[in-house]
Structure 1
Amino acid sequence: MSSDTDISLSSYDEDQGSKLIRKAREAPFVSIGMAGFAAIVAYGLYRLKSRGHTKMSVHLIHMRVAAQGFVEGAMTLGTGYSLYQEFWGKPKP
């Protein structure tokens, strides 16, 4: 007699680091988008000191638009890459 409690729950046993690494291997453009977002925000915070006569709100809006644009671009490239692998990257039988 087998019971349903013998099912392995290995996906629930992994810690956050290994889960992040596994997800990055499955979808590399997600990690590229996250890294780009962090880099743009860090650069925007660095430039915050020397923004000149630009208002704070305008500077923050420009930083937000740049970060969102990078993430959207990474998502679009990732979707295109997935479509390519799905439809054109498969070897013909």
Structure 2
Amino acid sequence: MNSLFQSNAMVNAPHMEEGSGDKLARKAKESPFMPIGLAGLAAVCGIGIYKYKTRGSMSTSVFLMQLRVAAQGTVVGALTLGLAYTMANEYLFKKKDGN
């Protein structure tokens, strides 16, 4: 019975066998703004690492809190743009069939 469940699970979920690179490529195709959000996150973290040395008298915890807000804002902004893009393609720019 257990092998029957496992074989049905593999048929219903073929993405379970894919590697991390294949999964990232599939997710990027499904949501084109996800890689932009990840690149923005990496850019904000890189800039934060660079600016950490020149933060002046600001405490580390305050600096990291501001860096976290900037990184989250970048990712949420990219995901929001992706959602707006998807909704616009689906509802606004959708060609009417048969009319």
- Shared fold (TM-score, shorter chain, > 0.5): yes
Letter in 1 for 2:40: G
Unaligned residue ranges in structure 2 (runs of 5+): none
TM-score by length of 2: 0.79
Give the direction of change, closer, same or farther, for the CA distance of 1:92–1:60 in structure 2 (3 Å limit).
same
Tell me which stretches of 4 or more aligned residues in structure 1 moved more than 3 Å: 3-10
Residue 79 of structure 2 is matched in structure 1 by: 75
TM-score by length of 1: 0.83
RMSD of equivalent CA atoms: 2.1
* 1:40 and 2:47 aligned: no
Residue 30 of structure 2 is matched in structure 1 by: 26
Letter in 1 for 2:82: G
Letter in 2 for 1:43: I
Give the direction of change, closer, same or farther, for the CA distance of 1:64–1:9 in structure 2 (3 Å limit).
closer
CA-to-aligned-CA distance 1:70-93 (integer Å, 9 cap, x gap): 111111111111110110121112
Identity %: 44
